Chain A
Amino acid sequence: MPRYLTRRLGQAFLVVAGVVALTFVIMRVVPGDPAVAFAGPKATPEQLAAARERFGLDDPLPVQLWNYVRDLVTGDWGTSLRTRQPVLDDLFQAFPASLELVGAALLLAIVVGVPVGVLAARYKAKFPDLGVRVTSMLVVSVPVFWLALTLQTVFAGHLDWFPVAGEYDRVLDTTSPLTLWTNITIVDALITGNWPIFTSTLEHLVLPTLVVAAYPMGVIAQMTRAALIEEAGQDHTRLERALGFTETSILTRFSLRPALGPVLSLIALVFAYAIVNGFLVEAVFNWPGLGRYAVQSISHADTPAIAGVTLLVAVMYVVANLVVDVLQGVVDPRARAR
């Protein structure tokens, strides 16, 4: 196990180094004049010269890379052109809201996706299976921004069942201010017993969560179905049938556990995908997370902010993969050998 852990950590470190190098290439080497990227498209010649000076853009590239890495490690991720604040501060401010949204969405995706996959596998090649296959294919094929706009217009606009946008009713900040512990609004509201904000956040969460959950829900249902169908060909299924277990109890009591292994290892991938899909959803529902920050940065050509978001999400993805692999190594010794 220690050997596996060191090897896997070493690998993750290499990938993070590569991620930093690639971000550097995109921001400093690809653009014709990186100074424009740092000072903004409307910058005066003086501002461009200042940016060149400030970021050492006239230095040789290896020197620039070294300085870039040093700045990143010491927590200087540059200054946002739009908010005029350090990018790292902006990211820390926005991240909890994204975590809240994506967490809720993944929870929903697992709670709905797994049983739906079981249903499809139980009635394989019959009507429920076809229904699940078509629906899960539709939800992974839908453009998220369009789904978000449609749900928002129908359920918030026309029917008025849910609030249109935002994380919670901002009026509540004065009537029942929230004490921050984790910075994740819904968790803080729950542990401090702030019911007005808790219920308001729940109401605001429903529509964006549904949209972000759509893709992972479809993927999880498809994976569960496929894995269960593969289990059905295994010897243990034949034994269980001979012993007289019903098809449903074979699926839920014996096949589901081995089948969920590959599904769970998919979660890290789905998590990163959901964060980025959440970008478009956050923009539509004005959710104060990383996505809204990224989309606003894009429309302001705020390169340092975009670089920051890119780097943060990529590093998070590497770490999530590492955690999943290590957990699998703990649970399943065979995974260590790979």
Chain B
Amino acid sequence: MRGALGPAVDVPLRRTLPRITDRLALLGAVLIVLITLAAVLAPWLAPYPADRLDPVLGLSPPSAEHWFGTDSLGRDLLTRVMHGGRTSLIIAVATLALSAGVGVTLGVVAGYAGGWIRDVIMRITDVFLAFPALLLSVALAVVLGPSVTTVIVAIAVTWWPWYARLAASTAASIATRGYVDAARCLGVPAPLIILRHVLPNALTPVLVQISLDAGGVILIAAALSYLGVGAQEPTAEWGLMVVQSQTLFTTNWWAVTFPGLAILVTAFAFNVLGEGLRGALDPRSVRT
């Protein structure tokens, strides 16, 4: 999923966005808007209060009153799935902001400075990238203790090196541009050059990569919760909802199916949008 982004071109995102002609990517964008609205407005839109228990109606199948049915505690699953979207989106946004912040900072410095600074930073990213993301997050989450914050930190620790590498290669190519040379000749100090010239121009590929990665982060967060080292009750989280109902799957299919579908649809939406953005950014993939 996280392949090279093609040639590092310093095109601003606002000139890239209108070039998304791919209908699948547009479907992804529409889905993301809908999912975000449902998640953000969950306290007002959801049919029931988030934690309302109804022991009498425990494990009732989908009906007109409970579109997605209820879980074993009689909580309305549609409400829980909508609130679960809040958890997933918060985790995705916080994780990506944290890892992109750390990764881009180190990457831009590495790419602009070059030499031994770049070597050291790149060797450190090599070490982190030797761990499959889920594995390192699990190890960290076990040590840190289960919570939503743990999930964010654990995934960010495994994710920043990708941004560091991407930003480093983009920054290295930008560092050879004429406007950077001009600034250097005028005596502009290096930190200011990085901040004013390199960073803004290196950002587009990173933003595209972020949209490509959101789906992956949501999947890993759900997996961590499924493994019991992520979000905990009473937080509504899709992976947690699946693990809580998995023994009831044969008799109460809805309690596992709907939270799982929510993960699938959200990850799918981010993945197709990311692919579309990447296609729009990479001139080689322009359709003939």
Contact = CB atoms under 8 A, between A and B. Distances in A.
Interface of A: 11, 14-16, 18-19, 21-23, 26-27, 30-31, 37, 125, 130, 133-134, 137-138, 140-146, 149-150, 153, 157-158, 219, 223, 226, 229-230, 272-273, 275-277, 279-280, 294-295, 298-299, 301, 303, 306-307, 309-310, 313-314, 317-318
B139 A153 contact: no
A276 B127 CA distance: 17
Contacts of A306: 138-139, 142
Nearest to B127: A18
Interface string B271-288: 110010000000011010
Contacts of B242: 143, 145-146, 149
Given A14-B123, A219-B1, A276-B135, A142 B140 contact: no
Contact of A298 (B229, B246, B249, B264): B229
Contact of B130 (A15, A143, A158, A223): A15
Contacts of A21: 127
Contacts of A30: 140, 143-144
Interface string B245-273: 01001100100110110011001100110
Contact of A150 (B128, B228, B260, B263): B260
A146 B132 contact: no
B143 A310 contact: no
Residue of A219, A272, A299, A310 with most partner-chain B CB within 10 A: A310
A16 B256 CA distance: 40
B132 A275 contact: yes
B97 interface: no
Given A19-B131, A146-B256, A141 B227 contact: no
A157 B128 CA distance: 40
A23 B138 CA distance: 12
Given A142-B264, A314-B135, A125 B140 contact: no
Max chain B C-beta neighbours (<10 A), residue from A137, A273, A279: A137
B219 interface: yes
B222 interface: yes
B223 interface: yes
A248 B140 CA distance: 49
B143 A27 contact: yes
Given A15-B126, A19-B127, A141 B271 contact: yes
Given A15-B127, A140-B271, A146 B260 contact: yes
Given A15-B126, A125-B287, A133-B24, A280 B227 contact: yes
A50 B276 CA distance: 57
Specify the main secondary structure of chain A where it touches its partner.
helix
13 contacts: A14-B126, A130-B24, A134-B24, A138-B264, A141-B215, A141-B264, A142-B267, A143-B223, A230-B284, A280-B226, A295-B227, A298-B227, A313-B135
Contacts of A276: 132, 134-135
Given A130-B24, A137-B24, A143-B242, 9 more contacts: A14-B126, A145-B226, A146-B264, A149-B246, A157-B250, A279-B134, A280-B223, A280-B226, A313-B135
Given A146-B263, A276-B132, A141 B219 contact: yes
Contacts of B219: 141, 143
Interface in B101-131: 123-124, 126-128, 130-131
Contacts of B239: 143, 145
A259 to B, nearest CB: 14
A145 B223 contact: yes
B98 interface: no
B132 A317 contact: yes
Contact of A310 (B136, B229, B264, B272): B136
A230 B135 CA distance: 34
B143 A313 contact: no
B122 to A, nearest CB: 11
Most chain B Cβ neighbours within 10 Å, of A140, A142, A143, A145: A143
A230 B285 CA distance: 8
Contacts of B250: 153, 157-158
A303 B143 contact: yes
Interface string B208-222: 000000010001001
A310 B139 contact: yes
B226 A150 contact: no
Nearest to B137: A276
A318 B130 contact: yes
